[in-house]
């Protein structure tokens, strides 16, 4: 007589309950936006802005007056600005996705990611210029000036994604005031129009504060 042993399978373990993502609070979003505004203004005020055909003597005079310590501190502060751009982009994406405009939230975040990479490249070029001046390497200085002169190109794509993405999301979901959504789209559409593209770059920190103050955020969690 054969004996058949039945195998008893244990019931599958119950999945762990998902932890809801409450998203950033209003004060967090505003704090990041204000920090972005302060550092952005400081970097714009202290950074060098030379065309590729600038006189090397003028470039040397500008960077020659900057000590190595100041150059390093400025570079580090610039990377803090880059991090704040990423934090704000992630926070705004969260608010946009919660309002229902999921794919537009992804567009906004990718736009801020491209902007962070652009700002980081500007910081690298500026630091490299200081070193080229310090070493007296005229060919390197000219190369850095040429790179800096065209480094605004990725800025265009970032401005389109950020402003148009956030504006369309605001119109579709109502998570932004209608006037701010429309202004955002208009500013974003100016990005590929040559010098007008810098309108979005100049207004960005002010726009970020306005968005932080007015975007609809579910803080019930």
Q: Where are the domains of the chain?
A: 26-46+55-214
Sequence-distant (≥ 6) Cβ neighbours of residue 140 within 8 angstroms: 128, 132
pTM of the entire predicted model: 0.83
The Cα 217–Cα 27 span in angstroms is 11
pLDDT of residue 48: 65
pLDDT of residue 19: 47
- DSSP of 58-100: HHHHHHHTS-HHHHHHHHHHHHHHHHHHHHHHHHHHHHHHHTT
The segments of the chain whose pLDDT lies below 50 read 1-2, 4-7, 18-19, 221
Burial class (CB in 10 A: 0-12, 13-18, 19+), 96: buried
pLDDT by residue (tens digit) across 39-65? Answer: 999 888 776 677 777 787 878 887 777
pLDDT of residue 12: 57
Q: First vs last Cα of the chain: how many Å apart?
A: 64
The Cα 20–Cα 101 span in angstroms is 19
pLDDT of residue 53: 74
The Cα 18–Cα 103 span in angstroms is 22
């Amino acid at each position: 007589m054969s004996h058949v042993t039945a195998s008893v399978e244990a019931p599958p373990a119950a999945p762990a309950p998902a932890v809801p993502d409450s998203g950033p609070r209003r004060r967090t979003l505003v704090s990041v936006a204000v920090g972005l505004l302060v550092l952005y203004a400081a970097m714009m005020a202290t950074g060098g802005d030379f065309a590729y055909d600038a006189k090397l003597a003028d470039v040397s005079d500008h960077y020659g007056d900057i000590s190595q310590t100041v150059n390093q501190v400025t570079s580090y502060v610039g990377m803090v600005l880059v991090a704040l751009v990423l934090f704000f982009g992630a926070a705004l994406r969260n608010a946009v996705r919660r309002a229902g405009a999921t794919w537009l939230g992804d567009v906004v975040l990718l736009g801020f990611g491209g902007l962070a990479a652009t700002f980081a490249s500007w910081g690298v070029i500026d630091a490299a210029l200081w070193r080229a001046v310090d070493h007296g390497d005229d060919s390197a200085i000219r190369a850095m000036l040429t790179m800096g002169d065209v480094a605004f190109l990725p800025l265009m794509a970032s401005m389109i994604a950020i402003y148009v993405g956030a504006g369309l999301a605001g119109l579709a979901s109502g998570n932004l005031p209608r006037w701010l959504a429309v202004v955002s789209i208009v500013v974003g559409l100016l990005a590929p129009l040559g010098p007008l593209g810098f309108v979005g770059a100049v207004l960005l920190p002010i726009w970020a504060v306005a968005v932080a103050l007015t975007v609809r955020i579910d803080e019930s969690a």
